[in-house]
Amino acid sequence: MKTNQSIAALCLGTLLLAGSLLAQEKPIVSANLALTPPMGWNSWNKFACNVSEDMIKSMADAVVKSGMKDAGYVYVNIDDCWQVSRDANGNIVADSQRFPHGMKAVGDYIHSLGLKFGVYSDAGSKTCAGRPGGLGHEYQDAIQYAAWGVDYLKYDWCHTTTQDAKASYANIRAALDAAGRPIVLSICEWGTAKPWLWGKEVGGNLWRTTGDITDRWGGQQKWPDGSCCSNGVLAILDQQVGLQSYAGPGHWNDPDMLEVGNGGMTDTEYRSHFSMWAILAAPLIAGNDLRNMRPEIHDILTNKEVIAVNQDPLGREGERVAKNGDLEVWAKQQKDGSRAALLLNRSDSEQEIAVSWEDLGYPASLSAAVRDLWQHKDLGKMTGKFSARVEPHGVVMVAVKP
């Protein structure tokens, strides 16, 4: 017969075992993804539906050869139009003309270069280009993506009729996790249902905050048919004001992919576009043809000092700290206590712009080292403020380090 003491010990042991089993809950496979803003390349801005195995493979080669990989770009993402139908079992079918060896072969090639593989689908019944969407096939598709070695899924919002955005994105995240492969989830809902309020909770790693970017400098304009709206980079920038507190490691505001190098803006404007995205802690997803970049475009996309601002491990999104008409100052706190500051001249003439230490959250009396991140030059120690002449549509970007 057991003594009271041994029965008590047995009960305690059972409790401890149950407790430790609970504590060892299965880790979520998608935890720790995108701890800094994702960097890579996506087909849409330049190629739209004109995607193919050959083009994607040669672009992946170019990511490596151009030095983009060394600069931190890792995802090679195929956007809309790789898919054509579903088979009798409901499996998604890739375009066999354009992807003759199937999607896994493309993923394997991308992985063989030390890069990561992204695809695109849609939460509704069809993608924005009218291809089959994911609705009702979320778990089946997630298993397929995992089998292909997909590392990143951009999930769009066309043809969703009465669907609830938060529930739809929670569903695809649960499906991806159930498939067992860590996959970055890029929520592409255009900001309509304020995804910054719920994107992190449903396991989104980034969420679009606006409609699509156009390769244009200016503000919002109606499309020729009268519908709303074409967003130039300034229009997109303005829509980021006030969203900074929602971003952080693993979950980022996404002001859409880069247009740098696509031909619609001057090199000065592209430098400004890239600097804005860097200070916003935005995903840096290039959207140009990397196989034949001009050196000026290459030097913008691979500026390691500007990229370091974007990739700072503290994960703070920068914010606008001063505005005087067309002259703005944006600032971003970095992990080492320094600040990145962007002096932005939106006007059509050269202007003097100053950033005061107080705007950066420093006392005016502080002496701080200033470094120009585009000139790659130390400008010396300064007290109270830094000012510079800024070209029209241009920026001066500095690091200010006490």
CA distances from 399 to 72, 185, 306, 316, 379 (A): 20, 31, 10, 15, 10
Closest residue by Cα to residue 360 from 326, 313, 306, 402 = 402
Of the candidates 61, 212, 238, 267, the residue annotated as catalytic is 212
Residue nearest ligand GLA, Cβ-based: 128
222/376 with CB nearer ligand GLA = 222
Backbone φ, ψ for residue 339 (5° rounding): -125, 145
For the CB of residue 188, give the shortest distance to ligand GLA in the complex, in Å.
5
* CA pair distance 290, 67, nearest whole angstrom: 10
* 126 counts as binding ligand GLA under rule CB under 6 A: no
* 129 counts as binding ligand GLA under rule CB under 6 A: yes
| Stretch 188-247 residues interacting with ligand GLA (CB under 6 A) | 188, 212
* 79 counts as binding ligand GLA under rule CB under 6 A: yes
123/399 with CB nearer ligand GLA = 123
204/394 with CB nearer ligand GLA = 204
Give the rounded distance of the alpha carbon of 330 from its chain centre. 19
* 108 counts as binding ligand GLA under rule CB under 6 A: no
Task: Return all residues near 335 (Cβ < 8 A) that are at least 6 apart.
Answer: 312, 313, 314
- Pair 80, 315: CB distance under 8 Å: no
Stretch touching ligand GLA by CB under 6 A, among 84-92, 120-128, 313-321, 341-349: 120-128
Strand pairing category for 351-356 and 152-156? unpaired
What tokens does 167 get?
């529930």
For the CB of residue 77, give the shortest distance to ligand GLA in the complex, in Å.
10
For the CB of residue 190, give the shortest distance to ligand GLA in the complex, in Å.
6
For the CB of residue 285, give the shortest distance to ligand GLA in the complex, in Å.
10
Closest residue by Cα to residue 44 from 263, 256, 356, 359 = 256
- Pair 117, 149: CB distance under 8 Å: yes
* CA pair distance 145, 110, nearest whole angstrom: 14
Quick one: which of 53, 95, 141, 156 contacts ligand GLA (CB under 6 A)? 156
195-309-340-268 Cα dihedral, nearest 10 degrees: -90
255/261 with CB nearer ligand GLA = 255
Task: Examine the residue annotation and report whether 156 is marked as an active-site residue of this protein.
Answer: yes
What tokens does 67 get?
């030095």
For the CB of residue 243, give the shortest distance to ligand GLA in the complex, in Å.
18
Burial class (CB in 10 A: 0-12, 13-18, 19+), 345: buried
Backbone φ, ψ for residue 210 (5° rounding): -145, 175
Stretch touching ligand GLA by CB under 6 A, among 123-131, 330-338, 381-389, 391-399: 123-131
Quick one: which of 33, 51, 63, 128 contacts ligand GLA (CB under 6 A)? 128
For the CB of residue 256, give the shortest distance to ligand GLA in the complex, in Å.
7
Stretch touching ligand GLA by CB under 6 A, among 87-95, 107-115, 122-130, 319-327: 122-130
Q: Which residue has the tokens 């801005």?
A: 45
Backbone φ, ψ for residue 245 (5° rounding): -70, -15
For the CB of residue 360, give the shortest distance to ligand GLA in the complex, in Å.
34
Tell me how many residues contact ligand GLA (CB under 6 A): 10
* 260 counts as binding ligand GLA under rule CB under 6 A: no
| Stretch 164-183 residues interacting with ligand GLA (CB under 6 A) | none
Task: Examine the residue annotation and report whether 177 is marked as an active-site residue of this protein.
Answer: no
Q: Which residues are catalytic?
A: 156, 212
Q: Which residues bind ligand GLA (CB under 6 A)?
A: 44, 79-80, 120, 127-129, 156, 188, 212
